[in-house]
Amino acid sequence: MTAKVHLDRAHGVHLLREMLRIRRFEEKCAELYQAQKIRGFLHLYDGQEAVAVGVMQALGPQDAVVGTYREHGQAIARGIPMGPLMAEMFGKVEGCCRGRGGSMHIFDRQRRFIGGNAIVGAGLPLALGLALANRMQGRKAMIACFFGEGAADEGEFHESMNLASLWRLPVLFVCENNLYSMGTPVGIAEAETAIWQKAAAYRMGGEAVDGMDPVAVEVAARRAVERIREDGVPWLLECRTYRFRAHSMFDAQLYRTKEEVESWRKRDPINRLREWLEKAGHLHPADLERIEADVVAEIAEAVAFAEAGSPEPVEELERFVTMDEVPQ
């Protein structure tokens, strides 16, 4: 496999901009949640930006993405506009799912973003079905399925890996291993903590990569996608990453220390890439100021769009809902 990434100024700045867009969007979501403008559950992506941004570089518009319930970053990296995304967070009709999905169920048909899922691991069999449909209908497309390491405990992980290998389905399984299944350390939940090695049990390729490095993730993802497209076989990519914030806004984080979090913050993917670009002469202070200003303006516009939106009328609540008649 010969996949490579040419990290020139344009591509390096693009990766940095995309990660900054995700980080600032998540920071704004946390602020709006505390202001009670966003309700329900909220799982933020801070720290994991390199995974979504790196993987998306390897995909084409014909490919589909199955997200997790921590999917705002995946959605932004896939190209879903911030306005409809923020409106969805607000529960407004102008949201990408008419406000019915909220934070955990983002969906965009045009961009083939097949949503998040509140059930751990539930996206895995969905990815299988999409890949099988592509094959049966003769579409030359693949599926990238994101999931956390906690999903590797679930039966559908093993069932999906097994069937994907048996049926030779074009699926890229992307494990975002952030070390904690909610609050359970991976070493307590997994007999084999190297998730990528589980691929061997199903006779498919697998690889682990530094999930705090967008370039490393992109190289590994392109390599995997190249193999999938050429041979029509699935692949497991384990991205070792870390979430800087709590599991959700309700999480007191009693399972990890502040020192551990701070040690991982030193590996912040945004700072690492920014420093490399500066040393290589590809990024100057004025460039960063302009990027930050553009991102702040984009988010402000998205918030204004969401706040100006409307809740769904009561008379519309049964729309899209199929109800069987209850026997008398």
Query: pTM surpassing 0.85?
Result: yes
Q: Is residue 318, in this structure, part of any structural domain at all?
A: no
Kindly state whether residue 4 falls inside one of the protein's structural domains.
Answer: no
Q: Which of 87-101, 189-203, 313-327 has the lowest mean pLDDT?
A: 313-327
Q: Is residue 244 scored above 80 in pLDDT?
A: yes
Q: Is 190 helix (H, G, I), strand (E, B) or coil?
A: coil
Categorize the per-residue pLDDT at 320 as very low, low, confident or very high, splitting at 50, 70 and 90: confident
Domain-located, residue 175: yes
Q: Which residues are CB-contacts of 158 (< 8 A; sequence separation ≥ 6)?
A: none
Mean pLDDT over residues 126-154, rounded?
Answer: 94
As a whole number, mean pLDDT of residues 293-298 equals: 98
pLDDT at 316: 84
Across 259-280, average pLDDT: 96
In Å, how far from its chain's centre is CA 192?
24
DSSP count for the chain of H helices, then E strands: 11, 7
Q: Are 113 and 80 in contact (CB under 8 A)?
A: yes
pLDDT range class, residue 321, cuts 50, 70, 90: confident
Is residue 90 very low, low, confident or very high in pLDDT (cuts 50, 70, 90)? very high
Q: What percent of the chain has pLDDT over 90?
A: 84
Per the domain annotation, does 319 fall within a domain? no
Reported for 320-327, long-range contacts at CB under 8 A and 24+ positions apart, including other chains, are: 320/100
Say whether 240 sits in a helix, a strand or coil. strand
Mean pLDDT over each residue of the chain, to the nearest integer: 94
Residue 326 domain flag: no
Q: Is the pLDDT of residue 253 over 70?
A: yes
Is residue 3 very low, low, confident or very high in pLDDT (cuts 50, 70, 90)?
low
Cβ partners under 8 Å of residue 65, min gap 6: 56, 59, 74, 78, 111, 112, 113, 114, 143, 144, 145, 146
Domain that holds residue 245: 9-307
In a domain, 324, yes or no: no
Confidence of residue 92 (pLDDT cuts 50, 70, 90): very high
According to the model, what pLDDT value does residue 327 have? 59
Specify which residues 209 forms β-bridges with. 239
Residue range 266-292: mean pLDDT, rounded: 96
CATH at 90: 3.40.50.970
Residue 312 located in a structural domain = no
DSSP helix/strand/coil, 164: helix
Q: Provide the number of structural domains found in the chain.
A: 1
pLDDT over 80 (residue 328)? no
Rg (CA), the chain: 20
